[in-house]
Chain A
Amino acid sequence: MRWIDWAVLIGTVTMIVAYGTWKTRGIKSVSSYLRGGSDTKWYTIGLSIMATQASAITFLSVPGQAYEDGMSYVQFYFGLPIAMVLLSATIVPLYYRLKVFTAYEYLEKRFDLKTRLLTAFIFLLQRGLAAGISIYAPAIILSTVLGWPLHLTNLLIGTLVIIYTVSGGTRAVNQTQQYQMVVMLGGMIAALFFILFRLPSDVSLGDTVGIAGALGKMNVVDFSPRLDARYTLWSGLTGGLFVALAYFGTDQSQVQRYLSGSTLAESRLGLLFNALVKIPMQFLILFVGVIVLVFYQFHQPPAFFNGAELESIRQAPGGERLGPLETSYANAFAQKRAELAAWLSAKKTGDRPALESAKERLKEADAKSRDIRTQIKALIAQLNPRAETKDADYIFIDFVIKYFPPGLVGLLIAVIFCAAMSATASALNALGTTTVVDFYKRLWKPQATEAHYLGAAKLFTVFWGAVAMLFAAFASLLDNLIQAVNILGSIFYGPMLGVFVVGFFLKRVPGTAAFWATLAAQVLVVMVFVYSQIGFLWYNVIGCAAVVALALAITPWSTLRASQA
């Protein structure tokens, strides 16, 4: 990185942190600290909700995913607008009416204390681990690509987040997130235009999309009813809906964002803003990945995008076997480049038979090139069994470092920092709030002063920040960490959503039935995870349905026991 990149990165990150800390200094009321003073406008809520969901991995992995598998991932978000509408019409007015600080308080009002504590505990467990990952995941990639010390990067991200989250609470998180989101969106739009600008001058936008389509990457909507396909229109509208309902309706890191609204209308508008903007934003991020792929049809891409790993393999015993494979890869690229020229020429002349024939040959050349890349990955795995051969997370950042001009590199690294910080800040803010409201105040110190709770909230936020940084420091000891946390989230979200659905729609289910149904459904989902091959997105549906069914089944027995007692 050059000095201008450092200036852009440090300037962007520190200005946002300093502004957020300064703007929210001197908060004295615990209500302001935990609920953001209840004066937040819809646009701040909307941007804050989006920034909470957009972790650094969104900007590192999603373009890489589009590069490998095309645009189909956008379908995962098709259920989100429906979830926003359902939540705005149902649970959000309820939270407002009950004047709750956390989502789990509602469960005590509706059921009993044990159900509230169970769900709050599940949240702390799941979000506590995820907070560590939101720091670790970008740190490991930045340290690999830029050679930064891993622990120092962890420490830097964690400390910056703790400073403003502890200082200004929810208000500081909301204030900083709106600017972080502007940086993230601005950075990705700048990236899109820059990559388009770097394509050959005689290749139009139509040609670019056409090339992506010919390579099978413009697969935005898949109508097929296949259950084994991860992203289809149907899995997006069902699985995506359940995930969004659980995440936005029951996860305190999101609930806290919209509960800070000055009125119910502002909160609803914030959620609906997210409903309107989220899909186009994900489309944009995926499209950046597709354009990178098109760029690499004109310039030879690396055979393996984690350059540091490739170099270490090259130096290792047996590394000389890479050479012939890399030569084959270069030859395959040259052949693909020739087929692409033929396809473009046929497109310009409008010769349809020639176009179809060139497209088939282009696909064959692409398949050959991919096959050699798979062989290179297999060789890496053979020479170093501990090596991570999934290099999709490195595709975009490798491209940024190699091809972006000075200044824009710093801006894109700032995008990754902003994303890591915004996701972590919401998590720490929610973890601190839940610990104070649902455990400390409820169980141990119900009658303390405002100042006492404010101090406790700050202390618990620091505690969770330290836990997250500690987890990030030891995260490399675990294999397949990111996937593990995604699966962990899916294991817990289903039962969590289920208990809220029961509370809201099944008025005759009592607390004891809800508690045991949630616990049993949680065990069931863990067993499904251990003993079955079902895709983890379905855990959300299974967990939610199990809570509803079990609660209905237990209710007569539970009611009978209560009447006998």
Chain B
Amino acid sequence: MANDPEGPPFFESWRGMYLFVLGVLAVLVLLFSLLTLAYR
């Protein structure tokens, strides 16, 4: 990141962007789990 003069859009740092991506993954897994439980 020290070598990257440009930051990500919407986030102050790449760390924030990475956490966002992992957060979306967690939400997707949660939604899919609920779908599995609701329709088994």
Contact = CB atoms under 8 A, between A and B. Distances in A.
Contacts of A223: 33
A93 B1 contact: yes
B36 A269 contact: no
A221 interface: yes
A430 to B, nearest CB: 25
A20 to B, nearest CB: 28
The 3 A-B residue pairs whose C-beta atoms are closest, nearest first, are: A213-B39, A265-B6, A218-B39
Given A81-B24, A222-B36, 10 more contacts: A78-B29, A84-B21, A93-B1, A97-B3, A213-B39, A264-B6, A265-B8, A268-B8, A268-B14, A279-B28
A265 B35 contact: no
Contacts of B40: 213, 216, 218-219
7 contacts: A89-B18, A93-B4, A219-B36, A263-B5, A276-B24, A279-B25, A280-B28
Interface string B19-33: 001101100110011
Contact of B35 (A218, A263, A269): A218
Contacts of B21: 81, 84-85, 272, 275-276
A85 B4 contact: no
A295 to B, nearest CB: 17
Interface string A196-231: 000000000000011011101011111100000000
Interface of A: 74, 78, 81-82, 84-85, 88-89, 93, 96-97, 209-210, 212-214, 216, 218-223, 233, 263-265, 268-269, 272, 275-276, 279-280, 283
A264 B35 contact: no
A375 B29 CA distance: 37
Given A89-B14, A213-B40, A221-B32, A82 B8 contact: no
Contacts of A88: 14, 18
Interface residues of B, number: 24
Contacts of B35: 209, 218, 220
Interface of B: 1, 3-9, 14, 17-18, 21-22, 24-25, 28-29, 32-33, 35-36, 38-40
Contacts of B28: 279-280
Contacts of A89: 1, 14, 18
B1 A220 contact: no
B37 to A, nearest CB: 9
A219 B38 CA distance: 10
Nearest to A279: B28
Nearest to B39: A213
A265 B7 contact: yes
Nearest to A236: B29
Contacts of B33: 220-221, 223
A28 B29 CA distance: 47
Given A82-B22, A89-B18, A218 B36 contact: yes
A277 to B, nearest CB: 10
A222 B37 CA distance: 10
Contact of A85 (B6, B18, B36, B39): B18
A220 B25 CA distance: 14
Contacts of B6: 263-265
B14 to A, nearest CB: 7
Q: For A81, A214, A222, which residue has the most chain B Cβ atoms within 10 angstroms?
A: A81
B39 A209 contact: yes
Contacts of B14: 88-89, 268
A85 B21 CA distance: 8
Given A213-B40, A218-B39, A272-B17, A82 B32 contact: no
Contacts of A216: 40
Nearest to A80: B25
Given A96-B3, A218-B36, A263-B6, A85 B24 contact: no
Contact of A269 (B5, B8, B22, B25): B8
Nearest to B33: A221
Residue of B1, B8, B21, B38 with highest tally of chain A CB at under 10 A? B21
Given A78-B29, A88-B14, A218-B40, A93 B3 contact: yes
B5 to A, nearest CB: 8
Contact of B22 (A85, A213, A218): A85
A140 B7 CA distance: 47
A74 B22 CA distance: 16
Contacts of B29: 78, 221, 233
Contacts of A268: 4, 8, 14, 17
A210 B22 CA distance: 30
A89 B14 CA distance: 8
B1 to A, nearest CB: 7
Given A88-B14, A221-B32, A265-B8, A81 B25 contact: yes
Contacts of B18: 85, 88-89, 272
Contacts of A82: 22, 25
